[in-house]
């Protein structure tokens, strides 16, 4: 079983590579990076200058690049949203998930770049969305990676680790059997 990371649109290859080792450690699966796919024009909302996360997820699921992989994580640098929400850091479906790096950078908030803060945030969001593909719901523990993040402060508060309730469920696959 393995996980494939798919860059969607223009994404710095180093931003993808930095996710491979941490995801392998968390999910005990091989992680590889696939070929970049283009941003789906149908997902773009010009008025919002954002991309619809549901359309991005659907587009990702149709990519032939993902066949033969247990889980798929699309990584993009464009801003994502869902109808009724200002933005989302990511979204997950059955075996596919997508995350946006756009709001994870300090520069988005008018602050100097911090590579370690960005890396940590990207890992947290990648683990969170992949956790959903393994059947884990949102967790009430604000320090658990599966806690819902409505703001970057909430992302920073939680770590890239599962809590004592979620950890055994993702490791044993119990959550995926729901």
Residues tagged active-site: 129
User: What are 140's strand-pairing partners?
Assistant: none
∠ Cα 173 153 115 (to 5°): 85
According to the annotation, is 147 in a ligand binding site?
Answer: no
According to the annotation, is 163 in a ligand binding site?
Answer: yes
Distance, in Å, from the CA atom of 61 to the CA atom of 116, rounded to the nearest integer, reads 31
According to the annotation, is 144 in a ligand binding site?
Answer: yes
Looking from the CA of 79 toward its CB, the CA atoms found within 13 Å total 12
What the block records as the tokens of 96 is 């596919």
Going through the chain in order, the beta strands assigned E by DSSP cover: 2-8, 30-33, 44-45, 50-52, 71-76, 80-81, 90-92, 96-100
According to the annotation, is 139 in a ligand binding site?
Answer: yes
Distance, in Å, from the CA atom of 58 to the CA atom of 63, rounded to the nearest integer, reads 9
Query: Going by DSSP bridges, is the β-strand pair 71-76/96-100 parallel, antiparallel, or unpaired?
Result: parallel
Distance, in Å, from the CA atom of 27 to the CA atom of 37, rounded to the nearest integer, reads 24
Residue list for the binding site: 128, 132, 138-139, 144, 163, 166
Residue list for the binding site for Zn(2+): 128, 132, 138-139, 144, 163, 166
């Amino acid at each position: 079983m393995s996980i494939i990371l798919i860059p969607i649109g223009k994404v710095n290859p180093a931003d993808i590579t930095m996710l491979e080792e941490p995801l392998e450690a968390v999910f005990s699966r091989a992680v590889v990076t696939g070929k970049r796919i283009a941003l789906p024009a149908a997902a773009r909302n010009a008025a919002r200058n954002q991309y619809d996360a549901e359309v991005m997820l659907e587009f990702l699921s149709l990519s032939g690049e993902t066949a033969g992989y247990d889980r798929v994580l699309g990584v993009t640098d464009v801003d994502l949203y869902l109808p009724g929400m200002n933005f989302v850091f990511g979204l997950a479906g059955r075996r596919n998930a997508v995350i946006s790096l756009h709001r994870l950078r300090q520069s988005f908030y008018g602050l100097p770049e911090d590579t370690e803060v960005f890396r940590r945030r990207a890992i947290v969001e990648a683990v969170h969305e992949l956790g959903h593909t393994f059947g884990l719901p949102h967790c009430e523990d604000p320090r658990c990676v599966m806690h819902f993040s409505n703001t970057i402060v909430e992302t920073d508060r939680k770590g890239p680790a599962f809590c004592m309730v979620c950890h055994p469920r993702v490791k044993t696959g119990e959550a995926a059997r729901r």
